Amino acid sequence: MVIVDELYHNVVITLPQLKLIEFIMKLKEAKAQEIEDIKTKISKYEEKKRAEEAWYQSLSPFRKFFTGRPLSQHQAVEYMVYVKERFKKIDHLKAQMRELHEVLELIKAENEETSEITLSPAIVQEIKRLKSSGGGGI
């Protein structure tokens, strides 16, 4: 199967159809794993914040008076960095996974080995990276 770059319309790689399907499946698995890692980081952050809040609420009023707490705007910035930006990254990864799924469906619809498929430069670059690493893990 001939892979053509969507941006420059050049023939980039020629791979057997089964090998291309294998590479796309590995890319999808890697993206799914990255999403799970990000979700784990978010849950750890939220668990840490809940523990800190529970500790603060357990203090006596006298100790609360002398215990410093971060200002609300600092907490908001911290939330944006640790949660909101990570959710944006998850949305971006899900969009990439949808694109990979569409490519996979397009490949499966093609039956000829000599057929041509046009892929985005990002997918082409990831396939090249995967191919150069020997087709193993990403």
> What distance, in Å, lies between the first and last C-alpha atoms of the chain?
22
Say if residue 100's pLDDT is above 90. Answer: yes
Phi, psi (rounded to 5 degrees) for 11: -75, 120
| pTM listed for this prediction | 0.81
**Range from 10-24, 95-109, 113-127 carrying the lowest mean pLDDT:** 113-127
SS3 106: helix
At residue 137, the pLDDT reads 47
> Per-residue confidence at 134, pLDDT binned at 50, 70, 90?
confident
Label residue 138 by pLDDT band (50, 70, 90).
very low
Measured CA to CA, the distance from residue 94 to residue 28 in angstroms comes to 10
Q: 89 falls in which pLDDT band (50, 70, 90)? A: very high
